Chains A and B, each alone.
Chain A
């Protein structure tokens, strides 16, 4: 297991390097000369050259990348153009709130997905089974921004049961308040992952129930519930894979969900940075998100290796 983890961590290094190269390059594809824009229209060539030198833009692109990367590794991700504050601080404080939302959404997605997929697999011919199947396949098409509006208009404004925006009520509040405020944003984010997990869980549960070991367990006289437990245990690897994949979807989707529900996370920060063309913040946000996603993948793979020795030994 240690060897597996070591190899997996080692493999993440070139991937993260590649990620940082791509993020670095997004600045380089900006049309036009950044120095000319910064220096203003009336600047002389000498002034431009001086500015170019002070920004390090006269150096080789590899040198520029190296400088940028070493700064990034020291936690220096540049300064926000709009807010004139270090980007790293802005992004990290917002990212915490995003992680809360993403974790909440993930829990809802797994519970909802297993419920939908399980019922669909166990009652394939009944109406409720078909309804669960249909909900799974409709929900995977649902854009977060559409669902967010539907929820706000029909649930929040319609019934007043849940707050429309923010993370906390006035004057703070405890965990219960956070869960209450986060419910609709989390459910919005969770819908597509839940549908995906539901589909996979249904298919792999049906597969597992058709396997020989189920017949053997039945012959040994195990109760239906015990057999089901073993079958569900058999679906864990595929569930885990799908859940891990959906983390990327959650981390991307927060841009829409947080914006509409005014959740003070990375997504809302990115939305505001897009309208003010605050590229350093956008870059830092994308970089942090991608790094977190790589980390989640390592965790998922390790969990995989823990439950399945075949993965561990490949």
Chain B
């Protein structure tokens, strides 16, 4: 309780399943909740958009200035055009790739590094465990967005920068979850058995610890995607992401903010898209966590 933690990240830890889960578990048994399919499908659509987006969107970097700030549906533009006369739908579709990359890649990178670090800390002896955890505490002392900004501002703008900055920010919370999950295993029968059979630490980490901490880590990582998406949008809002004229959702908001009074929709649409995308990934994370809680309590 006395340790320092960061705000935005560790907000809902997948640990300590609520008591009510047990009661619900009996009713639903092992059925996979509808939410997993629903939000999983929607998240899949977003990822697909990230893959094919730039190929299907056509020309999104230059527009016809005589067609600037058209309303929705005008001139064959479904969501209208922006301040430079470019089609908003096309830019949203093309912008999906940098947005998805800078949300998913940091989670993947920090998922790998963070869980490695956390499992190592959880299995290590006293001083090494303390050393790793105290170093993580230092990262927790930063408001996460500001740490990402400090790193990205030094490295200069770009998608790579965003990925690096967000990965650094996301490693500590993932490592902490991995450490807690690993510590839970200490003293369990199968761990004792593995030690007694003379297996090496590395082998125990791979064969016993990893499969047992994996579900919780995957669920936690999923719940971080929404956050990473919001952070990534924020970074490009600040001009630390993709350079114009190439579109990215957060950057579209900042770029079109100047037209807020004359054509509010041009800035509002990408803002709503990021909101919706982060909602989808967060709901998927919640649905997966419920599933994990059910699994745990029926085991």
Partner of A29, one of B1, B20, B155, B261: B155
Q: Which one of B11, B139, B268, B286 has the highest number of Cβ atoms from chain A below 10 Å of its Cβ? A: B11
Assuming A22-B139, A141-B226, A143-B230, is B134 touching A14 (CB within 8 A)?
yes
Is chain B's interface secondary structure helix, strand, loop, or mixed overall? helix
Please indicate the chain B residues that have their CB under 8 angstroms from the CB of A51 in the complex: none
Can you name the residue of chain B whose Cβ is closest to the Cβ of A137? B286
Interface string of A127-157 (1 = CB under 8 A from B): 0000000000110111111110110110001
Contact B149–A242 (Cβ < 8 Å): no
Partner of B234, one of A199, A256, A279: A256
Contact A29–B234 (Cβ < 8 Å): no
Chain B: interface residue total (CB-CB under 8 A): 57
Contact B238–A274 (Cβ < 8 Å): yes
Assuming A15-B4, A210-B19, A270-B149, is B234 touching A31 (CB within 8 A)?
no
Q: Which one of A27, A279, A289 has the highest number of Cβ atoms from chain B below 10 Å of its Cβ? A: A289
In the docked arrangement, what's the CA distance between A141 and B76, Å? 32
Interface string of B63-93 (1 = CB under 8 A from A): 0000000000000000000000000000000
Further 16 A-B residue pairs, CB within 8 A, beyond A141-B283, A145-B233, A286-B142: A29-B151, A29-B154, A29-B155, A143-B233, A143-B234, A143-B275, A199-B12, A250-B7, A252-B143, A255-B238, A274-B240, A279-B154, A289-B142, A293-B141, A293-B142, A301-B1
> Residues on A close to B: CB < 8 A?
8, 14-16, 18-19, 21-23, 26-27, 29-31, 137-138, 140-147, 149-150, 152-153, 157, 192, 196, 199, 203, 206-207, 210, 237, 241-242, 244-253, 255-256, 259-260, 270-271, 273-275, 277, 279, 282-283, 285-286, 289-290, 293-294, 297, 301, 304, 311, 314
Q: 17 A–B contact pairs at CB < 8 A? A: A14-B134, A29-B154, A31-B156, A145-B271, A149-B267, A152-B260, A153-B260, A237-B1, A245-B7, A246-B11, A248-B8, A249-B7, A270-B149, A271-B238, A289-B142, A290-B142, A297-B5
> Residues on B close to A: CB < 8 A?
1-2, 4-8, 10-12, 18-20, 134-135, 137-139, 141-147, 149-151, 153-156, 226, 230, 233-234, 237-240, 250, 253, 257, 260-261, 264, 267-268, 271-272, 274-275, 278-279, 282-283, 286
Nearest 7 Cβ contacts at the A-B interface: A248-B7, A18-B138, A252-B145, A252-B143, A146-B271, A141-B279, A249-B7
